[in-house]
Amino acid sequence: MEVGGKLPDKAGAPFCKPCADDRKSVTAVKFCAVCKEWLCVSCTDYHRRLKATRTHTFLDKDLVAAVTQEENQENRFH
Protein backbone atom coordinates (compact mmCIF):
# COMPACT_ATOMS: atom_id res chain seq x y z
CA MET A 1 0.00 0.00 0.00
CA GLU A 2 1.41 3.34 -0.98
CA VAL A 3 1.08 6.19 1.44
CA GLY A 4 1.92 9.64 0.26
CA GLY A 5 2.04 10.93 3.80
CA LYS A 6 -0.75 13.46 3.61
CA LEU A 7 -4.43 12.79 3.32
CA PRO A 8 -6.39 15.11 1.07
CA ASP A 9 -8.13 17.92 2.85
CA LYS A 10 -11.74 17.10 3.69
CA ALA A 11 -12.89 20.37 2.24
CA GLY A 12 -10.59 20.01 -0.75
CA ALA A 13 -11.19 18.07 -3.92
CA PRO A 14 -12.47 14.56 -3.27
CA PHE A 15 -11.74 11.78 -5.71
CA CYS A 16 -14.30 9.80 -7.69
CA LYS A 17 -15.01 6.52 -5.89
CA PRO A 18 -15.66 4.24 -8.91
CA CYS A 19 -12.56 5.63 -10.61
CA ALA A 20 -10.51 5.20 -7.43
CA ASP A 21 -11.59 1.55 -7.37
CA ASP A 22 -10.17 1.38 -10.87
CA ARG A 23 -6.90 2.89 -9.56
CA LYS A 24 -7.54 6.23 -11.17
CA SER A 25 -7.43 9.55 -9.36
CA VAL A 26 -10.18 11.63 -10.86
CA THR A 27 -11.50 14.71 -9.15
CA ALA A 28 -15.11 14.27 -8.16
CA VAL A 29 -17.73 16.87 -8.94
CA LYS A 30 -20.85 15.32 -7.42
CA PHE A 31 -21.78 13.25 -4.41
CA CYS A 32 -24.52 10.64 -4.73
CA ALA A 33 -26.73 10.91 -1.66
CA VAL A 34 -27.99 7.34 -2.14
CA CYS A 35 -24.70 5.51 -2.78
CA LYS A 36 -22.77 7.89 -0.50
CA GLU A 37 -20.10 8.00 -3.13
CA TRP A 38 -18.18 10.72 -4.90
CA LEU A 39 -18.49 10.77 -8.66
CA CYS A 40 -16.54 12.49 -11.42
CA VAL A 41 -18.14 14.04 -14.49
CA SER A 42 -18.23 10.86 -16.57
CA CYS A 43 -19.35 8.65 -13.68
CA THR A 44 -22.12 11.12 -12.85
CA ASP A 45 -23.19 10.93 -16.46
CA TYR A 46 -23.14 7.14 -16.35
CA HIS A 47 -25.00 7.15 -13.04
CA ARG A 48 -27.76 9.23 -14.63
CA ARG A 49 -28.12 6.84 -17.54
CA LEU A 50 -28.24 3.56 -15.65
CA LYS A 51 -31.76 2.46 -14.87
CA ALA A 52 -30.79 1.34 -11.39
CA THR A 53 -29.20 4.63 -10.42
CA ARG A 54 -30.89 7.27 -12.55
CA THR A 55 -33.23 8.33 -9.75
CA HIS A 56 -30.41 8.97 -7.32
CA THR A 57 -29.93 12.44 -5.95
CA PHE A 58 -26.67 14.25 -6.55
CA LEU A 59 -25.25 16.85 -4.25
CA ASP A 60 -22.84 19.50 -5.32
CA LYS A 61 -19.34 19.35 -3.96
CA ASP A 62 -19.61 22.71 -2.21
CA LEU A 63 -22.89 21.75 -0.65
CA VAL A 64 -21.54 18.48 0.72
CA ALA A 65 -18.57 20.22 2.29
CA ALA A 66 -20.98 22.45 4.20
CA VAL A 67 -23.22 19.57 5.26
CA THR A 68 -20.29 17.43 6.37
CA GLN A 69 -19.01 20.22 8.55
CA GLU A 70 -22.39 20.60 10.21
CA GLU A 71 -22.59 16.89 10.89
CA ASN A 72 -19.17 16.88 12.46
CA GLN A 73 -20.16 19.67 14.78
CA GLU A 74 -23.31 17.84 15.81
CA ASN A 75 -21.45 14.61 16.51
CA ARG A 76 -19.29 16.33 19.06
CA PHE A 77 -22.26 16.65 21.37
CA HIS A 78 -23.12 12.97 21.41
Chain residues in the site for Zn ion (CB under 5 A): 16, 18-19, 26, 32, 34-35, 40, 43, 53, 56
Instruction: Output the smallest distance, CB 49 to Zn ion, in A.
Output: 12
Amino acid of residue 78: H
Q: Nearer Cβ to Zn ion, position 32 or 64?
A: 32
Q: Nearer Cβ to Zn ion, position 50 or 75?
A: 50
Measured on CA atoms in the order 7, 9, 13, 19, is the torsion positive or negative? positive
Instruction: Output the smallest distance, CB 10 to Zn ion, in A.
Output: 19
